[in-house]
């Protein structure tokens, strides 16, 4: 299956966004737990 450049970028962007969101939530949770910083 061949994707066009634009399609591949969009798919990669969506994947990155979802991973980034998950990572950010995890990171904020860890920071909040450990330091109780108001974020």
pTM exceeds cut of 0.75: no
Res. 18 pLDDT band, cuts 50 70 90: confident
Q: For residues 32 and 39, give the distance between their C-alpha atoms in angstroms, rounded to a whole number.
A: 8
3-state secondary structure of 30: helix
| pLDDT given at position 27 | 72
Domain containing residue 33:
1-39
Q: How many residues does the chain have?
A: 39
| pLDDT given at position 29 | 72
Q: What is the dihedral of CA 13, 17, 23, 28, to 10 degrees?
A: 140
3-state secondary structure of 20: helix
Q: What is the number of domains present in the chain?
A: 1
Taking a C-beta distance cutoff of 8 angstroms, is the pair 24, 13 a contact? no
């Amino acid at each position: 299956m061949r994707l066009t450049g634009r399609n591949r970028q969009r798919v990669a962007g969506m994947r990155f966004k979802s991973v980034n969101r998950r990572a950010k939530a995890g990171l904020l949770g860890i920071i909040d737990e450990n330091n109780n910083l108001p974020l």
